[in-house]
Amino acid sequence: MRPLSIFLLPFLLLSCHQRERNCADFKNGTFEFESFVGTELVTTSFTRNDTLEVDHYKGKADSARIRWINDCEFIVTKLHPKTRNEQKPVHMRIISTSGNTYTFEYSLVGDDRNKKKGTVTKTD
């Protein structure tokens, strides 16, 4: 019995570790997000306050309404959607924070099967 408890102890200690989540630090500010579109690495910058987000991507600006569920979760709804797909709100959840970055997961509201992840850097 003793060897088994020695083996399990490190796993129990590691599983109790909580990720840092200072989500309130990321409600307002200017941010950057890098992602691959095909094989091209593209950067999106955006400015967010409590209720509005303005994205800048490839020289074009787009705005969205932000509705905070709690300090770490919010819903993004485009103000001027151009397609039917853009009309669907996106649920964002901050998973962890570290310094001036946060890791998040997102999906269309009601579609929990197709969650994706990303990392955002606060630039101001």
Q: pLDDT digits over 31-50, tens only? A: 999 887 788 888 899 999 98
Q: Which two tokens stand for residue 47?
A: 């400015």
Cβ contacts of 106-113, under 8 Å, gap ≥ 24: 109/75
The boundaries of the domain holding residue 41 are: 20-122
Residue 60 lies in a domain: yes
Share of the chain above pLDDT 70, in %: 85
In eight-state DSSP terms, residue 6 is: H
pLDDT at 112: 79
Whether 110 maps to a domain, the answer reads: yes
Cβ(37)–Cβ(52) below 8 Å: no
The domain tally of the chain equals 1
* pLDDT per residue as tens digits for the range 73-102: 999 999 999 999 889 999 999 999 999 999
- In order, the DSSP letters of 29-90 are EEEEEEEEETTEEEEEEEEE-SSEEEEEETTEEEEEEEEEEETTEEEEEESS-SSTGGGS-E
CATH number of the CATH domain containing 49: 2.40.128
Domain contains 92: yes
Q: Is the pLDDT of residue 7 over 90?
A: no
Long-range contacts made by residues 102-111, C-beta under 8 angstroms, separation at least 24? Answer: 102/23, 102/26, 109/75
Task: Flag whether 112 is in a domain.
Answer: yes
pTM of the entire predicted model: 0.79
